[in-house]
Amino acid sequence: MKMPKLNASNAVAAIVCAALVLLPVYSAVTGNIFILTLFTRIVILALAAASLNLIMGYGGMMSFGHAAYLGIGGYAVGILAAEGFGSGFIQWPVALAVSALFALVVGALSLRTRGVYFIMITLAFAQMAYYIASALSRYGGDDGLTVYKRSDFAGLINLSDRTQFYYLCLACLFGGLYLIWRIVNSRFGLVVQGVRSNEQRMQAIGFHANRYRLVCFVIAGTICGLAGALLANNTDFVSPAVMYWTRSGDLMVMVILGGMGSLFGPVIGAIVFLVLEELLSQFTEYWALIMGPLLLLIVLFARGGIMGLLGRTHRA
Amino acid sequence: MYLVIEQLLNGLQFGLLLFLLAAGLTLVFGIMDFVNLAHGSLYMMGAYFAATFVAWTGSFVLGTLMALGATLLLGIVLEYVALRHLYGRDHLDQVLATFGLILFFNDAVRLIWGPAGLALPLPAWLTVPVQIIPGVYYPAYRLMIIVVALAVAALLYLVVMRTRIGMLIRAGASNREMIGALGINIKLLFTLVFGLGAALAGLAGLMQAPILTVQIGMGENILILAFVIIVIGGIGSIRGAFMAAIFVGIIDTMGRAFLPDLLRKVLSGAAASTAAPALSSMLIYLLMAIVLVVRPEGLFPAAKR
């Protein structure tokens, strides 16, 4: 395991981490509740983007259906809450288990294909999940499901308290990032990255490439399921729209914007994307009119994303 | 029985419409190796242009022809200004950039035409039902869609298989570098192909417009269907796109029409009414997943590069 070096991108990552930790203090001092609400959402989606980065950036698996796990994690919480199981000790493990199971099935079938076909088949599975959720008439169908009570952790932590919930989300994000960092630098992670660079060679020296890929795919799906459970608690609501393919596109944008294959990139990407969206939509109703071409320009002129600009890319 | 014939025709009509969309997508994909998510936006623009021009000129035929020209022009401009710089880049970059274009087009439409949808009224001569076989009537407009789409498909086949430009397109699909080295102006060829694809998408959009409303985001759902089709058919293969489009159109329409009744026979009423809409929406994706698992290259893969 290598220790992080002091360079521009690590300095930025450290500053952003510190700012995220201190944000509730700022919010309490200035009485700006809005910024805390905004950043709770950002932190949750950053976790989802980080999990996508694990398969996309390190594993070379371009999943275009990652938002499905956000919905699955969210629906697990929402449905259990609606059926009277309010305890987070039941809801969250179920959310993770169902996400993992979905990832296992999708991964096992999708990993038979490569390239654009992989992009499309993951998209197809996410669309299927979207339509299943739309058809759950018992749980709101198209209109979505209101979560009347946030997950209950038996007095350990109160999710309805803004600050406590924010720190829980932040802890999940840091925990997720640490896990991804450990995975990427482990033997397992090195094999996965080796498969991304040259699958045949890894096969030839005796690694069962697809098994490694599949495990990686399932881990990423599970982490994103956690983000989904957090998101449902944050909005007190879950709807099929969370899983729509444009949401998966948003997650991809965050990863690429921040810098694919850089540990902290997706966090930066999520912050920049969502803050920009917020600022632009305050400035004009037609924020996408600016955001769209901006994305195009980033792709054309800033390969490797923001972390790439800061001078550290892992991109193959 | 009449219902089955009618639904079959509906399926065929929907499938042919999907083919128009998928043909452009698969050409651009097969030749430029370019994933164009904004293809659905061109479909939407075709519909908006048609609604505007038809209202402006007062003539359905003239208006739609103008809309077709406008979409062609828009496609060429789009290719020239932005997309040509993305050829040869990672598919992911292309997905991201064209995703940005979707955002742009949706908001541009909202700014210009407003958030409410538009209607494209049909002229009187297209609203009469036509008797296709004794006792079976079918709307003239849907029949016209079938005829026009079949004619375009035939024309496309002739152009691609029998003309010099078609030969270049096929050559470009099998080896881009080589035809460039042989002195063909690939940049121009690519722009033409992209414009052709845009016009086909616009045609699909403006033909669908009188049946559904013209609205923002109308291209997104159908774009995914078009992608499903080119994946099932095999990327870069027009023949595959044609077969898969008709297949998908018929399965989707028949599923929506008859699946609820079929399920009701097997399941209880409540379970059937929950499962039917989900299952009929999923049918296409299920089909694609099965095809990809069994034949990862699609049913009619284009010639290997």
Q: Check CB contact under 8 Å for B292 and A121.
A: yes
Residue of A nearest to B110 (CA): A286
Nearest CA distance, A314 vs chain B (angstrom): 15
Contacts of A300 in chain B (CB under 8 A): 82, 85-86, 97
Do A120 and B231 count as a contact with CB atoms less than 8 A apart? Answer: yes
Contact B104 A303 (CB under 8 A): no
Lowest mean pLDDT among A21-35, A158-172, A298-312: A298-312
Looking at chain B from residue 97 to 156, which residues have their Cβ under 8 Å from any Cβ of chain A? 97, 99-108, 110-111
Domain assignment present for residue A100? The answer is yes
Q: What is the DSSP string of B40-66?
A: HHHHHHHHHHHHHHHHHHS-HHHHHHH
- CB contact (8 A) between residue B281 and residue A249: no
CB contact (8 A) between residue B278 and residue A135: yes
Token pair belonging to B24: 């452009």
Which of B99, B228, B285 is the closest to A249 by Cβ? B99
Region B2-294: CATH code = 1.10.3470
pLDDT of chain B along its 305 residues, tens only?
778 888 899 999 999 999 999 998 888 887 788 888 899 999 999 999 999 999 999 899 999 999 999 999 999 999 999 888 888 788 888 888 898 899 899 989 999 998 888 888 888 888 888 887 777 788 888 899 999 999 999 998 898 888 998 888 888 777 778 888 888 888 888 899 899 999 999 999 999 988 888 888 888 888 888 888 988 888 778 888 999 999 999 998 988 888 888 888 877 777 777 777 778 778 888 888 788 778 877 788 765 44
ipTM, two decimals, is 0.78
Mutate to test the interface with A, among B83, B103, B263 (most CBs of A within 10 A): B103
Contact A252 B96 (CB under 8 A): yes
Q: Is A177 among the domain residues?
A: yes
pLDDT at B169: 83
Q: What is the pLDDT of residue A316?
A: 38
A294, B83, B190, B267 from A300: Cα distances, Å = 10, 10, 19, 53
d(CA B176, CA B180): 6
**Mutate which of A75, A127, A257, A294 to test chain B, going by most B C-beta atoms within 10 A?**
A127
Phi, psi dihedrals of residue A87, rounded to the nearest 5°:
-75, 130
- Comparing CB atoms, the residue among B82, B92, B297 nearest residue A62 is B92
A116 contacts on B by Cβ (under 8 Å): 29, 35, 91, 231, 235
Q: Using the beta-carbon criterion (under 8 Å), do A113 and B107 form an inter-chain contact?
A: no
Is A6 among the domain residues?
Answer: no
Best mutation target, A254, A299, A301, to test chain B (most B CBs within 10 A): A299
Query: Cβ–Cβ of A120/B86 closer than 8 Å?
Result: no
Return the pLDDT at A43: 96
Q: Render B141-194 in DSSP notation, one character per residue.
A: HHHHHHHHHHHHHHHHHHHHHHSHHHHHHHHHHH-HHHHHHTT--HHHHHHHHH
Q: Which domain holds residue A135?
A: 37-245
How far apart are alpha carbons A130 and A200 in whole angstroms?
Answer: 35
Q: What distance in Å separates the CA atoms of residue A82 and residue B239, rounded to the nearest whole number?
A: 49
What total of structural domains would you count in chain A? 1
Which candidate in B113, B285, B286, B293 is best for mutational testing of the A interface (most A CBs within 10 A)? B285
